[in-house]
Amino acid sequence: MDFHIRPIREGDAEGINALRLMPGVFENILGIPSERIEFCQEYIDGLLRNDHQFVAVFDEAGEERIIGTAGVSIMRSPRLYHSANFGIMVHRDFQNSGVGTALMNTILDLADNWLMLVRLELDVFCDNERAVHLYEKMGFVIEGKKRMAAIKNGKYADEYIMARIRPGFEG
């Protein structure tokens, strides 16, 4: 499949909003069906130097179509500067085709070799088996379970806390 990965930029709000609203995506990312493009625009406008966001772009007849995003945001407290939150989503029609793996490789290279972060962490719904599999493949481990952590389709659903320590790091 012909796609490439680049940093997020001005003008990406519409494509990202479409992903965030998409069944097959929004249920697992704390999206809500009423979310507006303005929310994504504010998010892009509000990104700081220590927020690192990439998009995966499908080249369609010379036009770019955003098919995934992934990013890390370094924690704000000075004593947590070695840690970052991780997030990812891939367009429903492009899932299970290696896009998530490619996005994660991009983020892990940045985190390990250019930011030299020690700890990446995330929350994931316990029933999101594909995401848990991908995270474990990339070196994340389950550290605990948050019970009734977030709303999912009319229920309070459990989430795992997962984290990855940079390979070879000696604390």
Ligand X SMILES: CC(C)(COP(=O)(O)OP(=O)(O)OC[C@H]1O[C@@H](n2cnc3c(N)ncnc32)[C@H](O)[C@@H]1OP(=O)(O)O)[C@@H](O)C(=O)NCCC(=O)NCCS
Task: Kindly list the residues in this chain that would bind ligand X in the complex (CB under 6 A).
Answer: 25, 28-29, 88-90, 95-101, 122, 124, 128-131, 133-134, 137
Closer residue to ligand X, CB minimum distance, 13 or 56: 56
Closer residue to ligand X, CB minimum distance, 90 or 111: 90
| Residue 139 zone, left/alpha/beta (φ > 0; ψ -120 to 50; rest) | left
Shortest spacing between CB 27 and ligand X, in angstroms? 8
DSSP assignment string, 95-118: TTTTHHHHHHHHHHHIIIIIS--S
- In the beta sheet, which residues pair with residue 3? 58
Shortest spacing between CB 170 and ligand X, in angstroms? 28
Closer residue to ligand X, CB minimum distance, 79 or 102: 102
Q: Are strands 83-90 and 119-125 parallel, antiparallel or unpaired?
A: parallel
Closer residue to ligand X, CB minimum distance, 122 or 157: 122
Closer residue to ligand X, CB minimum distance, 29 or 81: 29
Shortest spacing between CB 79 and ligand X, in angstroms? 25
Backbone angles phi, psi at 132, to 5 degrees: -60, -40
Question: Which residue has the CB atom at the shortest distance from ligand X?
Answer: 100
In 3D space, the residue among 2, 76, 89, 80 whose CA is nearest the CA of residue 40 turns out to be 89
Strands (E), the chain: 3-7, 51-60, 63-74, 83-90, 119-125, 141-152, 155-165
Shortest spacing between CB 65 and ligand X, in angstroms? 15
DSSP one-letter code for 78:
G
Shortest spacing between CB 163 and ligand X, in angstroms? 13
